[in-house]
Each structure stands twice: as structure tokens, then as C-alpha cells.
Structure 1
Amino acid sequence: MSICVVQQQMQSAITAGGAPPALTGNARGLEVYRIAWRARLIEALRANYPVVHRVLGDEAFEALADAYMRAHPSQNRSIRWFGDRLPSYVAAHPEMLPHPAVADLVRFEWAICLAFDAADFAPLGFEALASTPPDAWPDMTFRLQPGYALIPMAWAVAPIWHAAVNTDDPNAQLPVPEAHAHSVLIWRQQLSPVWRTVEPFEADLLHAVEDGEDFAQLCERGVEALGDEAAAAVLGHLQQWVVDELLAT
């Protein structure tokens, strides 16, 4: 048996509970590696979802982690990305959560992770907009930065996240989640992820930007929603996106 095959069998035995290589005679030693592997994955999941861990507590979080590991074993070379499918997993398995708001919190916290690790970019500045000829504005399109995410929420979980990350007291009382259908915008400014709630019209404009609609089409959307105030509203949001460094060159 080649060394490569032995290594593959050993990896499967440790990470997926497969049969150990025939050359392995120390079952107790193999179990130590399995325990260490599980602990490392739970630690990685906890690092990616610290507020979810805080809300669930150790026991419930480890139960969720074990179920997730069985459904989606780590496949990425970097353990940093372990947990990328947790949002879809909890959406498909609501019975794993004590409250439906936790599913929104999972999606929110993963988007924060992605914003933090997003690729660097050059933000679009007012100078570039000012230098654009007036006749070129209708055909202008805009590019959202790599850290951008717009997440529809059914619950107000941002206050829970904010309260949890701003206290060192593990016993501090967190806000009770309230049912609230809204959208949360998450992006990165400089090196820090930031977020805010957006109104339906702005969310609609952002989705249109994602789809590649030009400035004239954005204004047409504004006319449908706001009538004569459309142009001013679209320009106002565009200016805010530039200030927020939400747009990339």
C-alpha cells in the first residue's frame, strides 16, 4: 500500500469516521486525533459565529456544530471558511434552533465574516462622478464593493449582535428579538465591516445595481416609486454610497 493511500485513509478515518488504514494498530491513538479534529472544527465555527455561540450557549452550539459537521464535513484547505454553508443548513433544519431569529443571526454573522475578508478595492470617489460628462450619465453603471451583502431579515437581530460584541460580560442580558421584516446592508469601510438597515426603495436600487442597471434605469425605478422626487432621491442614495465607500471603481 502506497504512502499516499495510507494518508488518504488516515485522513478519512479522522475527519469522516472512515475505516483506518490496515497499518494502523493503535485505535486509541486514532480516537485522540478524531476528538482533536472535532474540537478544532467547533473552535473554528465558534470563531466565525461568536454571537451565535453566545446566544445558544456551549451545549446547544456544540450540538448544532456536530450536526453541521456530519452534513457538511470540512472541504476547504483553509479552516477559516468552515461554516460557509451553515446559513443554508439552519434554514433547512429550523428544529436545530431554539428560536427562528437565530437563523437570521447566522446569516448576518456570516456576511460580517465575508465583508471582513473581502478583497481590497479602490472606492469610487466624487471626483470620478464630477468628471463624467452630462451626456454619459444615463448609461453609467456602478459596481458594488466585494464586501457588499444585502440580506432580507424577518427578525431584528442586529441589536443582539451589537450588544453582544460590545460587552465582555458573558452573562449580560441580550435584547429579545422582535419580528421585523427588513433588509440589512453589510459592507466594509477601510478594514472594518459595517452595517445599517435600509428602506425598501434603497434596497430595490441596490438590487438593480447588482443586476447591472444603468443610471437612467435607476431613475425610472424612482419615478415609479416616488414620482417627481425620483431624481433627487436616486442622487441622494448615490452620494451616500460614495461617502460610505460602498461603490468600487
Structure 2
Amino acid sequence: MRLSDWQVQVQAYLLNPDTQPNPELRASLLGSAVLSAEQGLAIYHNAYRARLLEALRGDYPAVHGWLGDEEFDALALAYLNAHPSQHFSLRWLGAKLAAFIDGYLIPAQAAPLSELARLEWAFTLAFDAPEGQPLSLAQMAELPAEDWPALQVRLLPSAQWLACRHNSLAIWRASKERGDFPGSQLLAEVETCVVWRDQLITRYRCLAADEATALRGMTEQGWTFAELCAQLSELGEQAPLQAVTWLRQWLSDGLLQEHAMD
């Protein structure tokens, strides 16, 4: 057997939930007086899957805390059987867990748990995202008055949006602070949460519906500052003040960077 073929067989063995090797792989190995080839392979197989479980626990501590060791491991093993690791880095191992939960559990159980998983994955994506060039309040203060109407901005690459219909943030905070589990609850109104990285710290903030619409308008739909003010026309003379207040908040948060010109 060529080395490359043997490597493919070992990989297939590790990715298979069955600890029994195929006859060809078994015949290529020699045991010892104290450890048979089957036992050695089984130890390697178990250690590999234990490392994958450890990685998923690390990526989803709040989901793990909610379910406990036994239920989380059962979920994780079912996930690994459906989605074996396909990347050289464990960084992407849990990318499909939230979607898997939606199909693994009945909808009533899946909805709050998959939302929590999406929230935790948003923090992971934000932390690992490429660097951006945040606009500062000082830079904006230097902008000439005549340039303000045409001002356009966009979000940093690390920014992630999440619509929370359950108290996922409360559960996440309790897990992070090692507090008591608050219990899953359906919110009276959907919360729009933005997660982003500020230097080496991952942050989040919940936005009211009008602020979320304004931020999406400027960063996704390409509104200028003048168009943002026009969207707030029902506020009358207070429209520019509200627009400036939000813009100042977004700049203080470190959420924005200059709009790239085509």
C-alpha cells in the first residue's frame, strides 16, 4: 500500500464513528506484546474525537453550560457524524452547529438553543475577522461642514448582526460570568444585536429598531448622512440631532470605517 493511500485510510478511519478498522488498514499495522493494533487504533480514534469535542466545548461554552456534559457531547457527536472535520484548522469545526441544531431537535427546543449557538459563533467570527480602519470622533470633527451631507460609512469587517427572539444574551452573560442559568425565555420584542471587535476585545450592543434601521441604511444600503436625516423627517428639526447622536455613538463604539469609493 502506498503511503498516500494509507494516509487516506487512516483519515477515513478517524472520521468514521465506528472504531473497527477495515481489514486492509488492520493488516498494515503491527501490534506489540502489551497493545494490539486494534487497541492502538481505538485509542487514537477516541483521542481524536475527544479533541474535537473539546474544541466544540470551547467554541460553545454557553450551549455546553445549558445542556451539561452528557447532552452536549451527544449533540456534538451527532454533529460530527453529520459534519466531519473538513478543514486543517479546528477554527471552522463548529461553523454549521446552529443549523444542525435546527434539524436535530424539535422546533420548540431547537429555536432558543440554535439562537444561542449563532450568538456564540458571531463572537467567534467577530474576533477572527480581518482588521479594519475605524473612524474616530477626532477624524469626523475635522470633516468640513460642506462634506457632511455626502458622508457615507460602512461597518468594520468584524461586525456581525443577530436578531434575538429569546433571552440568548442573558444566557450568554450568565455563562461568561459563571452565574446561575436564567432559564430560556421568549422576548416580548425581537432584539437586534451587533457584535464586533474593538482591537483585541469583542463587544456587543443591542439596538432599538429605529437605530438598527438607521445603521443598516447607512452601512448596507449606502445612505448618505443627508439621506439618513431625510429618513428621520418625521422628527422635524430634531432629525439632524438624532442622526448626529447615533453617528457619535457608532463612532464611540468603533463600529464604522470610511466608505470605500468604487
After superposition, the Cα gap between the structure-2 partners of 1:85 and 1:73, relative to the gap in structure 1 and judged at 3 Å, is same
Aligned partners of 1:12, 1:48: CA distance in 2, in Å?
25
Give the corresponding residue for 1:222.
232
After superposition, the Cα gap between the structure-2 partners of 1:227 and 1:75, relative to the gap in structure 1 and judged at 3 Å, is farther
Give the corresponding residue for 2:34.
none
Aligned partners of 1:104, 1:42: CA distance in 2, in Å?
20
Stretch of structure 1 that moved more, 132-141 or 1-10 = 132-141
Aligned partners of 1:75, 1:118: CA distance in 2, in Å?
20
After superposition, the Cα gap between the structure-2 partners of 1:166 and 1:222, relative to the gap in structure 1 and judged at 3 Å, is same
After superposition, the Cα gap between the structure-2 partners of 1:176 and 1:198, relative to the gap in structure 1 and judged at 3 Å, is same
Give the corresponding residue for 2:222.
212
After superposition, the Cα gap between the structure-2 partners of 1:191 and 1:17, relative to the gap in structure 1 and judged at 3 Å, is same
Contact (CA 8 Å) 2:126, 2:197: kept in 1 or not? yes
Residue identity opposite 1:214 in structure 2: T
Equivalenced residues, count: 244
Aligned partners of 2:84, 2:238: CA distance in 1, in Å?
52
Contact (CA 8 Å) 1:10, 1:20: kept in 2 or not? no
Percent identity over paired residues: 36
After superposition, the Cα gap between the structure-2 partners of 1:130 and 1:151, relative to the gap in structure 1 and judged at 3 Å, is same
Q: 2:186 aligns with which of 179, 189, 193?
A: 179
1:159-208 CA distance string (max 9 Å, x none): 121122112xxxx5311232112111211223111112110011112222
Matched, 1:112 2:123: yes
Shift of 1:103: 1.8
TM-score normalised by L of structure 1: 0.88
After superposition, the Cα gap between the structure-2 partners of 1:215 and 1:156, relative to the gap in structure 1 and judged at 3 Å, is same
After superposition, the Cα gap between the structure-2 partners of 1:34 and 1:129, relative to the gap in structure 1 and judged at 3 Å, is same
Shift of 1:28: 3.1
Give the corresponding residue for 2:32.
none
Contact (CA 8 Å) 1:9, 1:21: kept in 2 or not? no
Give the corresponding residue for 2:94.
83
SS for the counterpart of 1:120 is coil
Shift of 1:17: 5.1
Aligned partners of 1:125, 1:15: CA distance in 2, in Å?
48
Give the 5 Å matches for 1:3-14: 3-14=3-14
Greater C-alpha Rg = 2
Give the corresponding residue for 1:22.
24
Stretch of structure 1 that moved more, 145-154 or 202-211 = 202-211
TM-score normalised by L of structure 2: 0.84
Contact (CA 8 Å) 1:145, 1:246: kept in 2 or not? yes
SS for the counterpart of 1:196 is strand
Shift of 1:112: 1.3
Residue identity opposite 2:86 in structure 1: Q
Give the corresponding residue for 1:157.
168
Q: 1:64 aligns with which of 58, 64, 75?
A: 75
CA RMSD in angstroms comes to 2.3
SS for the counterpart of 2:85 is coil
Instruction: Report runs of 4+ in structure 1 exceeding 4 Å deviation.
Output: 17-21, 96-99
Aligned partners of 1:88, 1:158: CA distance in 2, in Å?
19
